[in-house]
Structure 1
C-alpha cells in the first residue's frame, strides 16, 4: 500500500486535532485569537485553490497520482507559479490547522510534510515528467520553481 501525500495530510491534521484536544502536555501557545481566524481563512482559500489545481489534471486528462504516467504537462493556472502547487497548498492548509490548534508541536508538522513530499514523491514525479516530456519539461523547470 502506498502512502500518498493526501493521506499524509489526513494523518497530520488528525494529529494536530489530537494535540489540540489533549493539549499535548501543555504545549498550547498563547497566540492572539485572531490567528485562529487567519487559520480558518487559510483553510478556506486552500480548499478553493486545491479544487482549482486538481481540476487542472482533469481538464488536461492526466494522472494526479505522483507515481503515475503523465500524459500532459500542465503549465496553466497555479502551475504557472509553482511546479507543485498542490503540495504547497496542502502545506499551507496544515499551517492553517496549526494556527487553529495553537499547539507548538503542530507547527513542526507542515515543514516535516514538505521535506517528506520533496524527498519521497517530487523526485519520482520529476523523473517521470522528464522522461515523458524531455526538453519541454526542462524548459518549464527553468521558468517555474519547484515550490515558490
Structure 2
C-alpha cells in the first residue's frame, strides 16, 4: 500500500468520524444536524472563512486521489519515519477531533447562527484550549500533509489554517462574547485559543 493509499484511507476515516458519525449522533440527540452554513455576506471575512474551509476539505480529498491517478506528485520525498509520524498524527487528530466534538454535547455546531444561544462549554478539553476541535483538525491536516506533501495537500493545509483563524477570530469569538458576556471574556483571559497559554484575548 502506497502513502497515497494510506492518506486517502485516513482522510476518508476523518470525514466519516468527524463529520458523518458526529452529525448523525447530534441529529438523533437534538433533531438538528448542527450545520449552520457559511455565515456573513459574500465577500466578507466570515464568508471567506467558510469558503476556504470547504476548499480545504475538497483539496484534502483530491490530494491522494490525483496522486494515485498520476496527475500530481509529492514535492519532496520525506523520510519514512516522518511520513509514518504524519500518519499517526492524522489518526490521533481524527480521534481527538471527535472526542472534542462529543465533549461539546448539544452545543456542538458547525458555523454560527446569531439568533441561536447554546451553553458555553469550558470543561474537558475546553479547559486546555478554547478551540480543541479546530486544534485537532489542524493536527490532522498537518499529519496528512507530512504523509503526502504534494501541492494540493499543502494548499489544503493553508486554506484550513486561514479558514480556522477567520472563523474563530471574526465569527465565533465576537458571537460568544455577545452571547455570554463577561463569563466568556474571563474564559478568554485564562485559556489559550489553539495552544495552551497562547492566544489569550481581552475584550473591552
Task: Give the TM-score, by structure 1 length.
Answer: 0.81
Distance 1:47-1:104 versus aligned 2 partners, 3 A rule:
same
Q: Aligned partners of 2:74 and 2:91: how far apart in 1?
A: 26
- Among residues 84, 90, 95, which one is paired with 1:43 in the alignment? 90
- Among residues 64, 68, 71, which one is paired with 2:109 in the alignment? 64
Query: What residue is the counterpart of 1:17 in the other structure?
Result: 64
Q: Residue 130 of structure 1 contacts residue 138 of structure 1 at CA under 8 Å; is this kept in 2?
A: yes
Aligned residues: 144
Q: Residue 42 of structure 1 contacts residue 92 of structure 1 at CA under 8 Å; is this kept in 2?
A: yes
What SS does the corresponding residue of 1:128 show, helix, strand or coil? helix
Residue 5 of structure 1 and its aligned partner are, at CA, apart by 7.8
Deviation string, structure 1 residues 102-145 (Cα, Å, up to 9, x no partner): 325523432331112212x2121112211111000000000112
Cα RMSD (Å) of the superposition? 2.4
- Among residues 84, 90, 111, which one is paired with 2:137 in the alignment? 90
What SS does the corresponding residue of 1:46 show, helix, strand or coil? helix
Greater relative contact order (CA < 8 Å, ≥ 6 in sequence): 1
Q: Aligned partners of 2:71 and 2:147: how far apart in 1?
A: 13
Deviation string, structure 1 residues 33-65 (Cα, Å, up to 9, x no partner): 12221122112211221111000122xx21423
Q: Residue 60 of structure 2 contacts residue 152 of structure 2 at CA under 8 Å; is this kept in 1?
A: no
Query: What residue is the counterpart of 2:41 in the other structure?
Result: none
Identify unmatched segments of 5+ residues in structure 2. Answer: 1-36, 39-49, 196-204
Distance 1:70-1:17 versus aligned 2 partners, 3 A rule:
farther
Q: Which moved more, 1:132-141 or 1:49-58?
A: 49-58
- Among residues 73, 87, 95, which one is paired with 2:120 in the alignment? 73
Task: Give the TM-score, by structure 2 length.
Answer: 0.61
Residue 28 of structure 1 and its aligned partner are, at CA, apart by 2.9
